[in-house]
Each structure stands twice: as C-alpha cells, then as structure tokens.
Amino acid sequence: MSAPGIRRRDFAARLWRRPGARAAVLVLALLAGGALAAPVLAGLMGRDAETVDLLARLAPPSLAHPLGTDELGRDTLLRLLYGGRVSLLVGLVGAVAAATLGTLIGLVAGYFGGRVDALLMRLCDGFLALPLLPLLIVLAAIDPAKLGVPQSLAGGDDASIYRIVALVALVGWTGVSRLVRATVLSLRERDFVTAAVSIGAGPWRIMLRHLLPNALSPILVATTLAVGSVILVESVLSFLGLGIQPPMASWGSMLTNAQELITTAPELAVYPGLLIFATVVACNVLGDALQEAIDPQQQARESGA
C-alpha cells in the first residue's frame, strides 16, 4: 500500500487561496485561449497570418489590423496568436519530455542505488557542468539529415519544433532527476515498499506503482517552473536563427524579425517580448504557488492560523 498522498480537494483549495496562483492561471488561460482561437479569429477577419501584402507594410493599428502589420504586411495580431501556439506548445511539450526523462533516470538511480546511482549521477553532473546556451547553440546548428534522420522529419514544416523539444529533453532532465532521486531515497525504506517487496512485487512495479505516485508533487512543481525556461530557450534559439524557421511564427522568431526595425517600429519587438515575459512570470508564480501548497510546513501554518 502506498504512502498517503495529498488529498486533491484540500490541495486545490490551498492552491486557489493564493492570489498569485489565481492570477497566473488567469494569464496562462488567456494566452492559451487566444492561441487556440487563432484560426477562428483569422476566419472572422478573412485574413491569413502568412499572407504578404507589401502595400500594407508597417501599417498602424486599425479596424482591419488591430495591432498593425509587420515588415511584410502581415497582420501582427494573428502572427502573435499563431506564434503563441508554437511557443506554448514547445514550452509545454519540452518541459514534459524533460521531466519524463528525468523522472525515469531519478527513479532508477534512487531505487537501485550503488553503481547504477553513481553512474547516472555522474552523468547528471557532466550535463550540469556544461554551459547550457553554447551547448544548445551547437546542437541546434547540427543538420539532422546528416545524423541519419529521415528527410520527411528533418525537412518537414514541424522539424524545428521536434528539434527544439528533443534538445530540451536531452539537456533539461537533470534537475528533475535529482529531485526524484532524493524523494525515492527517502521512500524506498518505508514500510509500504518493504511490504510490496515481501509479496513479490518486481522493481519496476514498485517504482511505477508505489514510488512514482509519492514523487509526483516535486515533479509537478519542477515541470511547471520548466515551462517558462523552455519558452525562453526557444525564444533565444529563434532569435539567433537556430529555432523556429520561417514561415512558421513563434514569439522568438518575431523578435528576430523585429530587431532591424527597433527604431522605426519598436512595437513589433514589444508585443512578443511582453508575451514571453508574461508567460514566463506566470509559470514561475504558478510553480512557486504549487510548491507552497504542497509544503507540509506551510500546510501546518495555515491549519493553525
């Protein structure tokens, strides 16, 4: 039998009592809702985010173009919404992929211990010792086709998204793995694990059915905090021309296109920059609120208040 976890209702109530959590959820819901509604808005406006109109270059805000147009006459609002679909998708999928890999490594290292633990943790230390941004730049500059990746994947429209998610998962698992390992080390000697071993449960069943559910809290917090970091990574790589490739839009690639127009049309850089800032701050605030809601000491203080 697994150790008792946090009751969902109580946890949700504690989380929702925090103004920061409510504000973060509202901001993220608005951003996600706007991104999901992009095709609907494009249909209502009768426009396409990729349609070039050189006669309407850098047009000011109007009824036809609520936020004006960019250097190629494309509607800025639609570009922001479609760019949000890419940036938020990369942030969420990249964070989940890194957390999944880190969770698996942390479970194995914490449960088996010994040489397996030493080997995996030295591998983790090696990744932590590498400078993250230069490493990502080098990896992003590698042509996947030369590594044997099928051309249908390496040259597809979504190839840049797959590549960024893979890079984030490859280098971003270390933090989650350490958290999960520490949690498993504290749980593997508990009575419910001993009972599972005594009835003949195998290592993988114990890890997945008994240890993993009790390690979900730190994993959830770490994943939430990682979403903002992944969006920043995507924005930096796209700003350097190594991330999302045109004609696909992302907030980072929109910043890249706007850097040469910063004096004549600064709003083209301000809009995606503000959206990146709002998303990262909201994710960090939500992650902090989750951590406070999960913290047993915080729960005891609130119960005594």
User: If you average pLDDT over every residue of the chain, what do you get?
Assistant: 82
At 152 the pLDDT is 58
End-to-end CA distance of the chain: 33
What would the two tokens of residue 42 be? 């494009």
Helix (H, G, I), strand (E, B) or coil at 69: strand
49: tokens are 């985010």
The pLDDT value recorded for residue 137 is 79
Of 46-50, 155-159, 185-189, the one with minimum mean pLDDT is 155-159
What local confidence, expressed as pLDDT, does residue 149 receive?
Answer: 64
- Please give the pLDDT value at position 148: 64
Sequence spans of domains, the chain: 66-304
According to the per-residue pLDDT averaged within each range, which of 12-16, 257-261, 277-281 is highest? 277-281
pLDDT digits (tens, 9 = 90+) for 171-184: 888 889 998 999 88
Q: Flag whether pLDDT at 45 surpasses 60.
A: yes
Q: How many CB atoms lie within 10 A of CB 175?
A: 19
CA–CA dist 270, 96 (Å, integer) = 29
Percent over 90 (pLDDT), the chain: 16
**pLDDT on residue 3:** 40
**DSSP structure class, residue 242:** S
Distance CA 227, CA 230 (A): 5
Of 160 and 155, more confident: 160
Q: Which whole number is the average pLDDT over 231-254?
A: 81
Q: What's the confidence (pLDDT) of residue 9?
A: 64
Q: Is 111 exposed, middle or buried (0-12, 13-18, 19+ CB in 10 A)?
A: buried
pLDDT at 104: 93
**What is the rounded average pLDDT of the residues 200-218?**
84
Confidence of residue 81 (pLDDT cuts 50, 70, 90): very high
Task: Tokens for 171, please give them.
Answer: 């280098």
Residues 6+ apart with CB under 8 A from 162: 153
For residues 219 and 103, is the Cβ–Cβ distance under 8 A? yes
Distance between CA atoms of residues 240 and 235, nearest Å: 9
Does the domain formed by 66-304 have CATH 3.40.50.300?
no
